[in-house]
Structure 1
Amino acid sequence: MWTYRKSLLAAVCVFTIFYLFKSSRSSSASTSNTASFGLGSRGRSYPPSLSTKNRPSSQQTIENLASKPLRERLRYQFPYDLESKFPAYIWQTWKYSPASGEFGENLRPLEASWTEQHPGFIHEVVTDDAALHLIKYLYASVPEVTEAYASMPLPVLKADFFRYLILLARGGIYSDIDTQALKPATDWLPKDFDRSTVGLVVGIEADATDRKDWAQWYSRRIQFCQWTIQSKPGHPALRDLVATVTEETLRMKKQGILKANKMDKSVVEFTGPAVFTDAIFSYFNNESFFDYSARGANISVIDFAGISSQKKVGDVIVLPITSFSPGVEQMGAGGIDDPMAFVKHEFSGVWKPESERMKNN
């Protein structure tokens, strides 16, 4: 006959067995994901262990916050939750709304492809005028950022900066207006992959690790593209990038050189793929987020040379060149029918003057 004591003991045993089984399953799944994504061709281990040292406290008073550095205030304003879902937003920018008759007919099928591939997503094409108001609203508590955005002398600078700002604040997917969605974002990672371990998805634009003349063509030997990015809000790499661009903008403004023909940085280095690539590598090697004591080496360009599938580093997925640059017919990129082809960039240079379009960026 079951007594109360025996029933309680049995319940505790069942609960313990269930907990251990669940923990074992979770550990097994995590190991599987790391194995599929974490080993490069040279056998170097990934990802580095997440570090808990130097993590700032989330407890802040409004009075103390105002005196904190820019990065600290951005972290407070836009907290990062790795285990949250990727927001179902698609952000694009252009001079005109798709509802306008001035929206280019050549852009309509490209813009429509994002809605067609993502029917459950909110898809916004933000005009230049609307972008300024949106940034002022989202970053009202961080006036340096709004000042930097409003002070930029070229539309391309604002277009670059906008993508980082909107993803940091709201997350989702940003993609240039001259891109075509070939596959939905749900296909960018394997179906059984644990998306609660990923906060940022980037693609390789250039892999010039085997070229001695790489500097004549690209700003970095491994260059990450920023015409398409997926992120959860508050990602630390984007936070640092926003702070860097803000600081550089205000520095040039103070020096009186924040003008189209006077800036001491090119567009690519100031807001484009060079500074974006640097921010990603800086994050990969930031000991505030990762523990490299067991690995003994930094993440470098060689870790991404010639990759043909997704590679996971910490909470970042790096896609091969085929994913966002199919059909370029160089650096090992596959065609648009390749299983790893997700987004096609038309490289029309729509941000350039008409006379300079269709030339190399």
Structure 2
Amino acid sequence: MSNSKKPLGIDTANAKTLADFVTDYLPTDTPWTSFTHPTMGGKYTIELQNSSNLTRDDLAACFSLVEESSKGDYSASKQGWKPTAKRREMRLLELKYLLIRSAEPRDGEEKGMAGGIEAFASFMPTIEDEQEVLYVYEIHLAPSLRRSGLGRQLMKLVEGVARKIGVEKVMLSCFTRNATAKGFYEGIGYEKDEYSPPPRVLRDGREVEEAYVILKRHDNGNIDIEKYLDLRHSALVPLIFYSTPRTITYDHRLKRIGHPVRSAIHKLLNRGNRHVVESETLCRALRREASVIGKGHMALHRRRQLATACLILVFLHLWLGGPFLRASRPKHVEAYIQQNYPLVAQHVWNNNGKGAWYIPNEWRRESDPPITTILQAAHFASSRAAELSRTIPYSDIPLIIHQIWLGTKIDQWAPDLPGGIEQWLKFATVEGKESMAYFLWLDDGCDQLIADVEPELVDILKALPLPVERSDVFRVVVVNSIGGIYGDIDTNPLRSPATWIDEDDIKPWIDQKTSITYSPSSGNWKPPHNIRLLLGIEADNDPNTDAYWRMGYNFPIQLTQWALASAPKHPVLNRFIATFKNRVAELATPYKGNLTATAEAGVLAREDPLKFTGPEAITVATMAQLKDDAGLRWEAVTGLQDGGRSKAVGDTIIFPITAFSPGRSKYGNMGSKPLTDPDARLQHRAQGSWRKKDMYVEMGKICRTVLGMCRDWSKVPQ
């Protein structure tokens, strides 16, 4: 266990039972379960509940408070007031509620009427901008409780939870037009977050504030440098610096860090011509400097300087050619897996090497034949889901989850992968109509399915040079044959796929340029059909700018492939597969159709995977099919003009960028909203890359991004 990676504090917190959460994170030295109105004398109780434990009446009471205090603000924003989406957000799996109930009947009420919810606060430990935070979703009080001190007490409770979990940042969103609420938060120490949306600049130069602002508050304690650099689990990796002219550059780059920090670094590094500084020694010294600098506003400034100093040291270390800073590979042990990933341990770990699957018990019957292979299980789940109508609402897409990986021995996986699968399985194993089947496909199972449903692809996939290309094709084949939801192994579902579609997603919408109205009855799909394909935008740019190709995209509006969902035999996916087969046949023609000879000649290796099998390929297939079926102008699906709403075109929905790519940073944001936004369905953590480092390709990337040149420079090693 000593070499095991410590789990994220938020993961530990979210995995706790409600009773353990209360014991570990809420005050034990001061009473927190009651509140007395300072002027009216009313008595109130405070309790903590999980969102899943809220009764229908409790949820309705909380929703009424939201509607009373915020409906006007929502209605005035581009997003608008969407009661269904708000109720769905309030049911997010890991949301916690502080419920404030009246402890005594109000005037004119009988004694049995006591206990109604008069206020609530909801919060969630989560990841925001790649940082552990505690996000406050809502805090709403009945008019009689406002300006009573209750709001301040609830925020102190939430901040105390954050402190005990070990996160340094509490975040929340506030409507800019709600000056009272904004003033309250600023009065208790909250300030605008760097990721808060900036004002929009109009053509006449005027700035218009966005409808909401993201606020934050940092813990005033010392920054944990080891946590910042993720050095907690590394061995004592030496930082080696040589006394060369490059040390002048080193000194120059430290000028703006601040004297106390420079002093600490110089003490450590300037003790001779060759210096070996262990990472733990460096972090201890910097932490001492942080404690000397002091607290308050300047402390935050200095802590940022310390973080900058550490980053510069790491950069210099790599630049000077020293050994890389690598965290030792965490070794998962059985107790750790069982404690932190119980569903993965039960349904995936150490499977037979043929893949892993889970089918809800309520889908099975005693008369069903035994299932011995993942292919049999997949066909069974597809048939039974159709028979039981276990589909995403408003769609024919079966509630079946598909993922692909290399093996099921999770003690050999990268440490961050099991958490996402655990979340998929949490959604799959719920009871009732939202239960889902789950499949983790390994190479052997993938080969079985391809041979069964697309035998022409067997030899083609064997000839492909890159595993990512085979994965690209398989993900399309599996949802086009079995049906269901596909998510890359490094995705984390933020909402159950059973809630991915609601009535707002299928409402008619208008192409502002052509005035054509689109809906599920558009084009060749009359009368209205159920939705049969879900795709999400990865890149959303103004086509009149160069932003998209400078970021490496081939289209201003480009779809992602790390997540998609489909009913079997969809025309878009059929088109993707047919186009891929035709391209391979075209490349093999000079070699008389011999795929082995084609591959050995390097012809397949010279194909750009993004265009060949990746997101550009699925984008092209979708553009062409929707144009043929409904006359769709592709640029009309942008979310930049309407705040990011879903676009239903016949039986296909194009989700806005926030659906499958939320929480993007300021650079390349493209309208992406935070992970906490109701439109966020899934988070892609982008762990690892299929690309091999190539100097030629990297130079082209720098040339495009920084200089705005080299647009046609190849993205594939030559």
**Is TM (by shorter chain) over 0.5?**
yes
Deviation of 1:246 after TM superposition, in Å, equals: 1.7
Assess if the C-alpha contact under 8 Å between 2:639 and 2:657 holds in 1.
no
Deviation of 1:167 after TM superposition, in Å, equals: 1.1
* Number of the residue aligned with 1:10: none
* Number of the residue aligned with 1:66: none
5 Å matches for 1:211-250? 211-217=545-551, 218-250=553-585
Identical amino acids, percent of aligned pairs? 28
Assess if the C-alpha contact under 8 Å between 1:249 and 1:258 holds in 2.
no
* Number of the residue aligned with 2:25: none
Kindly indicate whether residue 657 of structure 2 is the aligned counterpart of residue 321 of structure 1. yes
Alignment CA distance shift 1:352-1:114 (3 Å)? farther
Kindly indicate whether residue 663 of structure 2 is the aligned counterpart of residue 348 of structure 1. no
5 Å matches for 1:133-172? 133-139=448-454, 143-172=455-484
* Number of the residue aligned with 1:339: 678
Which of 538, 541, 545 matches 1:208? 541
Distance 1:352 1:104 in 2: 18
Q: Which moved more, 1:339-348 or 1:148-157?
A: 148-157
Task: Show CA shifts across 1:130-160 (max 9, x none).
Answer: 2112211222xxx322222232221011010
Kindly indicate whether residue 435 of structure 2 is the aligned counterpart of residue 96 of structure 1. no
Assess if the C-alpha contact under 8 Å between 1:148 and 1:250 holds in 2.
no
Higher RCO by CA contacts (8 Å cutoff, separation 6 or greater): 1
Assess if the C-alpha contact under 8 Å between 1:222 and 1:305 holds in 2.
no
Deviation of 1:261 after TM superposition, in Å, equals: 5.0
Distance 1:351 1:214 in 2: 21
Distance 2:534 2:686 in 1: 21
Gaps (5+ residues) in structure 2? 1-81, 83-385, 430-434, 507-519, 521-528, 591-596, 702-714
Alignment CA distance shift 1:187-1:220 (3 Å)? same
* RMSD across aligned positions (CA): 2.9
Gaps (5+ residues) in structure 1? 1-35, 37-80, 293-297
Alignment CA distance shift 1:193-1:341 (3 Å)? closer
Deviation of 1:220 after TM superposition, in Å, equals: 1.1
5 Å matches for 1:41-80? none
The amino acid of 2:633's aligned partner reads I
Distance 2:397 2:548 in 1: 35
Deviation of 1:102 after TM superposition, in Å, equals: 2.2
5 Å matches for 1:252-263? 252-255=587-590, 256-258=597-599, 261-263=602-604
Task: Show CA shifts across 1:97-154 (max 9, x none).
Answer: 2x45323331000111111123221111111232112211222xxx322222232221
Kindly indicate whether residue 396 of structure 2 is the aligned counterpart of residue 85 of structure 1. yes
SS at match of 1:258: helix
* Number of the residue aligned with 2:515: none
The amino acid of 1:276's aligned partner reads I
TM-score, scaled to structure 2: 0.35
Assess if the C-alpha contact under 8 Å between 2:659 and 2:681 holds in 1.
yes
Q: 4+ residue stretches of structure 1 with deviation over 6 A?
A: 81-84, 192-195
* Number of the residue aligned with 2:293: none
Deviation of 1:243 after TM superposition, in Å, equals: 0.9
SS at match of 1:344: strand
Kindly indicate whether residue 532 of structure 2 is the aligned counterpart of residue 199 of structure 1. yes
**Aligned residue-pair number:** 268
Deviation of 1:257 after TM superposition, in Å, equals: 4.2
Deviation of 1:192 after TM superposition, in Å, equals: 8.2
Kindly indicate whether residue 612 of structure 2 is the aligned counterpart of residue 301 of structure 1. no
* Number of the residue aligned with 1:118: 428
SS at match of 2:546: coil
Which of 631, 643, 646 matches 1:310? 646
TM-score, scaled to structure 1: 0.67
Alignment CA distance shift 1:247-1:147 (3 Å)? farther
Distance 2:660 2:601 in 1: 30
